[in-house]
Amino acid sequence: MPKNLISIRDFSKDEMLHVLDIASEFEADREQNFLAGKVIACLFFEPSTRTRLSFEAAVNRLGARVIGFPDNRNTSQTKGETLEDTIKIVSNYVDMIVMRHPQAGAADVAASVASVPVINAGDGANQHPTQTLLDLYSIQKTQGRLDDLVIDMVGDLKYGRTVHSLTEALSLFDTKFVYTAPEELRMPQKYLDLLESRHIPYVQTDDIEYALNDCDILYMTRVQQERFSDMDEYNKVKDVYRLSASMLGGVKKNMRILHPLPRVNEIATDVDSTPYAYYFQQAGNGMYVRMAIISYLLGYR
Ligand code: CP
What DSSP string describes 47-93?
--SHHHHHHHHHHHHTT-EEEEESSSTTSGGGGT--HHHHHHHHHTT
Q: Which of 49, 55, 166 for mutating ligand 1's site (highest number of atoms within 8 Å of CB)?
A: 49
Per residue in 136-168, pLDDT (tens digit) is: 999 999 999 999 999 999 999 999 999 999 999
> Among the options 73, 78, 79, 190, which is catalytic?
79
**Ligand 1 mean position to 49 CA, how many Å?**
6
50 flagged as catalytic: yes
pLDDT of residue 2: 72
Burial of 114 (0-12, 13-18, 19+ CB in 10 A): buried
How many alpha carbons fall within 13 Å on the CB side of residue 77? 18
Verdict on whether the full-model pTM lies above 0.85: yes
| Ligand 1 atom index nearest CA of 54 | 8
**Ligand 1 mean position to 197 CA, how many Å?**
30
pLDDT of residue 277: 98
**Ligand 1 mean position to 214 CA, how many Å?**
28
> Among the options 38, 51, 164, 259, which is catalytic?
51
How many alpha carbons fall within 13 Å on the CB side of residue 12? 3
| Ligand 1 atom index nearest CA of 128 | 3
**50 in ligand 1 pocket by Cβ < 6 Å?**
yes
Point out the residues of the chain with pLDDT beneath 70: 1
pLDDT of residue 226: 82
Residue from 217, 219, 220 nearest 254 by CA:
217
pLDDT of residue 232: 85
